């Protein structure tokens, strides 16, 4: 894996995150949702 560049939201500071077994977790989380009414006309 390669290093990832990130912006720290609290300070707008740019950091490079290096991957490693002992490194802190860095993750991108997003939410998906399913709408049961998509495609149906009322």
Entry pTM: 0.44
| Residue 23, pLDDT score | 87
Angstrom distance (rounded) from CA 14 to CA 11: 9
pLDDT by position in tens, the chain (length 42): 789 898 888 888 999 988 999 988 888 788 778 888 887 877
Taking every pair of C-alpha atoms in the chain, what is the biggest distance, in angstroms? 54
Q: What is the pLDDT of residue 14?
A: 93
Rg of the chain (C-alpha set): 18
């Amino acid at each position: 894996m390669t290093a990832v560049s990130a912006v720290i939201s609290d300070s707008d500071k740019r950091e490079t995150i290096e991957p490693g077994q002992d490194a802190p977790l860095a993750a991108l989380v997003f939410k998906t949702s399913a709408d049961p009414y998509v495609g149906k006309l009322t």
